[in-house]
Amino acid sequence: MHFHIMTLFPEMVLGGLHTSIIGRAEEKGYISIEAVNIRDYTLDKHKKVDDYPYGGGAGMLMQVQPVYDCWKALNGRIARRRDDENNNGNIRVIYVTPQGEVFNQKKAVELSKEEDLIFLCGHYEGIDERVLEEIVTDYISIGDYVLTGGELPAMVMIDAIARLVPGVLNNGESAQTESHADGLLEYPQYSRPEVWHDKKVPDVLLSGHHANIEKWRLEQALDRTRTRRPDLYEAYITAHPPKPPQNKKKRN
Ligand code: ADE
C-alpha cells in the first residue's frame, strides 16, 4: 500500500513515520510513504502559497494553484506507476480537517484496502474551497478539537491504517483481538511476575483452560466497555442482544 502526503512540512511527517513498526514495514516493502511539498509547486516568485480570504476574516488561506498543481503531478505519477493513463481521480484524496467525519477503526479497515491513498494537509485557516471541490473524495477529522495543521492527523490515520496492511504487524492475530476490532475494548492483560505489589494475576489465566479463559476475557471486555465507553457498549449490545435463557424441555 502506498501513502502519499501533500504537505508544507514534509520533514515533520517523514520524521514521525519512519520509525518503529511503520518504519520497519516500509523497509520491508509492505508499505511506502512519500511526502510531497506543496510549496515546490507554487508559481509565485517568492514561493508564497497563501493569501487573504475574500470577505475578510482572520488568517490566511492556502491558494488553489499550488495545491492543484501538486495533486495533478502526484496523481499523474501514481497513474503511470499503476500503468493507468486514464486514471482521472479514482485515487482517494483525504482532506484532513476538523470539518470531516470522525475517523475510527471501521474507517481504518476500509481505507487499508486501497492501493494508494493521498492525504492533503491544510495549514493556516484552511484551503480555498474550489480546489477542495475538484480533488477531495473524503473529508476526515481525528476528533472534535482543532489542531494547527493536518500533519499530525494524517500521521495518526496512516499509523492506524498501515498496521492493518498484511505483514506490517508480526502477529496477525493481535489486530483482530485488540480494542475496537469487534466493537469492544480489549480485556486486561498480564505478564510475569505472577504476583506484583500484592496483586495476583487472575487464576483463570493460569488454569490452561482455554474455554474458560475466552469466557473470562469476553466478560472483562464487556465490563470494561460498559464502564469506560457506554456509547460503544450500547451499540454492541444492540448488535449482539444477549441470548434468552434456553427453556429445558419438560419430560412427560
Ligand atoms: N486539522 C486541524 N484539526 C484537525 C482535526 N481535529 N482532525 C483533522 N484535521 C485537523
Residues 19-55 have pLDDT tens digits of 889 999 999 999 999 999 999 999 999 999 999 999 9
111 with 208, same domain: the answer is no
Among 162, 190, 217, residue at a domain's last position: 162
16 with 95, same domain: the answer is yes
Indicate the pairing of strand 195-196 with strand 32-37: unpaired
100 with 216, same domain: the answer is no
- Say what the pLDDT of residue 144 is: 97
88 with 140, same domain: the answer is yes
10 ligand 1 Cβ < 6 A: no
96 ligand 1 Cβ < 6 A: yes
Decide if 143 is inside a domain. yes
Decide if 129 is inside a domain. yes
Q: How far apart are CA 117 and CA 135, in angstroms?
A: 13
| pTM: predicted TM-score of the whole model, two decimal places | 0.91
86 with 153, same domain: the answer is yes
54 ligand 1 Cβ < 6 A: no
CB < 8 Å & 24+ apart, contacts of 88-93: 89/135, 89/137, 91/116, 91/117, 91/118, 92/116, 92/117, 92/118, 92/137, 92/138, 93/118, 93/119, 93/120, 93/135, 93/136, 93/137, 93/138
Residue range 206-221: mean pLDDT, rounded: 98
Closest ligand 1 atom number to CA of residue 145: 6
215 with 98, same domain: the answer is no
CATH number of the domain where residue 30 is located:
3.40.1280.10
- Say what the pLDDT of residue 211 is: 98
- Say what the pLDDT of residue 20 is: 84
150 CA to centre of ligand 1 in angstroms: 6
Domain count, the chain: 2
Residue to mutate, 9, 97, 125, ligand 1, most ligand atoms under 8 Å from C-beta:
97
- Say what the pLDDT of residue 251 is: 62
The residue nearest atom 4 of ligand 1, judged by CA position, is 98
User: Could you list the residue range(s) of the whole structural domain that residue 148 is in?
Assistant: 2-162
Decide if 248 is inside a domain. no
Decide if 247 is inside a domain. no
Query: Looking up cell 471541490, which residue turns up?
Result: 133
- Say what the pLDDT of residue 86 is: 64
145 ligand 1 Cβ < 6 A: yes
- Say what the pLDDT of residue 244 is: 83
141 with 18, same domain: the answer is yes
Residues 215-234 have pLDDT tens digits of 999 999 999 999 999 999 99
Residue to mutate, 99, 146, 157, ligand 1, most ligand atoms under 8 Å from C-beta:
146
Among 113, 128, 162, residue at a domain's last position: 162
110 CA to centre of ligand 1 in angstroms: 20
149 with 187, same domain: the answer is no
13 with 126, same domain: the answer is yes
